[in-house]
Amino acid sequence: MSIFDHVQNRYQRAQQEEMSLQEYLELCRQEPGAYASAAERMLMSIGEPEVIDTSRDSRLSRIFSNKLIRRYPAFEEFYGMEEAIEQIVSYFRHAAQGLEERKQILYLLGPVGGGKSSLAERLKALMEKVPFYAIKDSPVYESPLGLFGPEDAELLQKEYGIPKRYLRSLMSPWAAKRLKEYGGDLTRFRVVKLMPSRLNQVAIAKTEPGDDNNQDISALVGKIDIRKLEMFSQDDPDAYSYSGGLCRANQGLLEFVEMFKAPIKVLHPLLTATQEGNYNPTEGMGAIPFDGVVLAHSNESEWQQFRNNRNNEAFLDRVYIVKVPYTLRVTEEMKIYEKLLEHSSLSKAPCAPDTLRMLAQFSVLSRLKEPENSNVYSKMRVYDGENLKDTDPRAKSIQEYRDAAGVDEGMEGLSTRFAFKILSRVFNFDTHEVAANPVHLLYVLEQRIEQEQLPKETHERYLRFIKEYLAPRYVDFIGKEIQTAYLESYSEYGQNIFDRYVTYADFWIQDQEFREPETGELFNRQSLNEELEKIEKPAGISNPKDFRHEVVNFVLRARAQNNGRNPSWQSYEKLKGVIEHKMFANTEELLPVISFNAKASNSDRKKHEDFVARMVERGYTEKQVRLLSEWYLRVRKSQ
C-alpha cells in the first residue's frame, strides 16, 4: 500500500456513519460500547495490563518488594512512572464504574519537564482510538441518550438494556429547539458515529490560561456569534458559537494546561460541568450538557498557592491529584535519554559507554533527598535495585530511604529536559566529530552549573556530586575498559584467578590444608586466608567470611548443572568485580601500549593498534580512544 492509499484509507475510516435513532437504540441492545462513557472508552483504548511478578526478578523484587505490578503497553515508553500511570488508570476505572471519580477533575501535579504534558498527549491520542455516537449536526456532540429524560429510563432499560445511570445528561438548547421544530417527533433525529480528533477538535479540546484582562469563561463555555444576530435573537441556540473547550470536548477529553495560572472565575464552569454534567452558557439559554473528562496539569508552586487560599475549598474537593515526579531510578532515566536520542538525528552518532549512565546518575542525585547515616550515592544505587550488602554495610533498604525522605521526593531537582540540553551540547562539543563521551560531559556539566547561578548550597552540592561520586568512579570505569582492552589473554587470566580463589576458599571453609598440585607447596588455613585476602582486600570486601561461603555455594550449585566444571569467572557478578580489581592493580605496564606517542618497536606499535581496535569494538571512536586514554593517564599521574 502506498503512502497516499494509506492516508486515503485513514481519512475514509474517520468519515461519519449515519443511522436513525431507532437503529442506534437497537445497536445499544447488542453492543454496550455504543453508549459507553468517555472513561469507559479510555479504558478500552488503554487495554489490559501485563501483570509482572517482581519476585522473579532480583532487581525488580528489591524495587517493588516482591509485589505484583501492572504495566500497560499503551504507556510502555513512560519509564519509571508505574505508580503515576496506575493512579491514572484507577481514575478511569472508577469513573467508568460511575463512582465519585466520574465527577472529579483529573489533575497531574509535578515538576517542570517531568512528563505531565507527554502523559496528557498520550491520553488524548488514546481517546482518538475508540469511536462514539452523537446526534447528527449537534454542535456539542451530545449523546443520543440525552434526548430522553429520567422518566424514560425504566422503559429504555427494559426494552434496550441501557442501564439507568447512562441517562444523566440534559438535552442541549440546540436539541431542544430541534425537537420543538419536529413537533416532539424523536425519530427525525439522526445519529452519527464519530471518531474523536485532536486535529478537528471533535470530543478532544485544549484550553490554555490567559490573564484577568484577556480571558473570560467563553474560553470554556463558548459565546454569542455576533454575525448571526441579524437572523436570530441573542438567546437563540442557533446564534451561539459553541467554540469553548467544554463544548468541543463533550463525550471526550478536555485538557486544561497550567490550570491554576488561570483566573479563578474562569474555572467556575468546570465545577458544574464535572459535578452536575452541565454548565451555563454566556447567554440566557438553557444549560449545555457535558459528559466528558477534564484533565488538568500544572507545577507544584501554582498548586500550593491555589491550595493555600481558603476561598478555593469547593474546587479542591473536586480534584483527583496524581503526582508525576521525576524518575528516581538511573536505569529508567537512561531509557528516557535513549528514547529522546532515537527521535533525533543523533540516534546514529557514537556515544561512548557510560556517558548516558553518568548523566542519569547526576540527574537522579539532584532529585534525591540526602539521607542520614548513609551517603546519597548508595541511596541512588539502592533505588535502582542494586544489592549493596557486600559493598556498603551502612546502606539501608529502599523502604527505609523512602520513609525518611517523605512523599515529596522527586518533585525537585534537575529535569530530563535540562539533562537532554546538556547531552546535546556534549554531542556537539567537538567541532570535528559529532559524538559524546563522559570526559566532555563532566566538563559541560561543570560549565553549566556555573552558568545557572544556582543558590550557593545547591551549587556546591552539584559540584560535590561530580567531584566525589561521578569523576572518581569514571576513572575506575575507564581504567577497567582500557586495561580490559590491553589484556589479550584477559578471559584466561580471569578464569585462572577465579578457579584458584574458589579452591582456596573451599579448603579454608573446610579447615583443611591444600597442596598445590604443580609445585607441591602446602597451604595451611592461615596461608589460605592470606592468599584469599590478597584478592579480597583491593576490592574492599567488608565481610570476607560470608563472601567466601556465598561464592563456594554458588560454584557448587553451578558445577552440579555444568558436569562438574567451574562456571565462567564472569558469571558471578560480585566475584567478577573482585577479580577485576586484582587484575588491574598495576597500571605501569600499560603506559607504552596505550599512549599515542611514537612507538619504540614494531611490537609495541602492533600492541597499540590491537588495543585501539579492541576499544573500538567496545563502542568508542578512535578519536575518543585517544582522548580518554590521555585523560586517564593524566589523572593517574596526578594521583
C-alpha span between 392 and 537 (Å, rounded):
14
Q: What are 369-375's contacts with CB under 8 Å, separation 24+?
A: 369/404, 369/405, 369/406, 369/409, 371/396, 371/401, 371/404, 371/405, 372/404, 374/401
Query: Can you tell me the mean pLDDT for 516-544?
Result: 81
Tell me the average pLDDT across 116-120: 90
pLDDT at 120: 92
Taking residues 305-312, report their average pLDDT. Answer: 81
Q: What is the mean pLDDT of residues 529-549?
A: 82
The pLDDT mean for the chain works out to: 86
- The residue ranking higher by pLDDT, 101 or 606, is 101
Burial 194-231, CB ≥16 within 10 A → b, else e: bbbebeebbbbbbbebeeeeebebbbbbbbbeeeeeee
| pLDDT of 470 | 92
**428-436 average pLDDT score:** 89
Task: Tell me the whole-structure pTM to 2 decimals.
Answer: 0.81
- Indicate if the pLDDT at residue 208 is higher than 90: no
pLDDT of residue 320: 92
The yes-or-no verdict on residue 44 having pLDDT over 70 is yes
> Does pLDDT of 589 surpass 60?
no
125-179, pLDDT tens digit by residue?
Answer: 999 999 999 999 899 999 999 888 888 888 888 888 888 888 877 889 999 999 9
Average pLDDT over residues 244-267: 86
User: Which of 382-391, 511-520, 553-562 has the weakest average pLDDT?
Assistant: 511-520
Of the pLDDT bands very low, low, confident and very high (cuts 50, 70, 90), residue 579 is confident
pLDDT score of 588 more than 60: no
What pLDDT is recorded for position 512?
85
Question: What pLDDT is attached to residue 14?
Answer: 60
Q: In 3D, which of 554, 552, 558, 566 has the Cα closest to residue 509? A: 552
Q: Is the pLDDT of residue 426 over 90?
A: yes
CA quadruple 65, 70, 73, 76: dihedral sign: negative
Q: What is the model's pLDDT at position 221?
A: 87
pLDDT of residue 599 exceeding 70, the answer is: no
Q: Which range has highest mean pLDDT (33-47, 53-67, 580-594)?
A: 33-47
Residues 369 and 401 sit within 8 Å (Cβ to Cβ): no
What pLDDT is recorded for position 215?
60
What local confidence, expressed as pLDDT, does residue 397 receive? Answer: 87
Average pLDDT value for residue range 463-488: 85
Mean pLDDT of 283-298: 89
Q: Is the per-residue pLDDT at 395 higher than 90?
A: no
Residue scoring higher pLDDT (458 or 283): 458
pLDDT of residue 516: 80
- The secondary structure element, H or E, covering residue 427 is helix 416-427
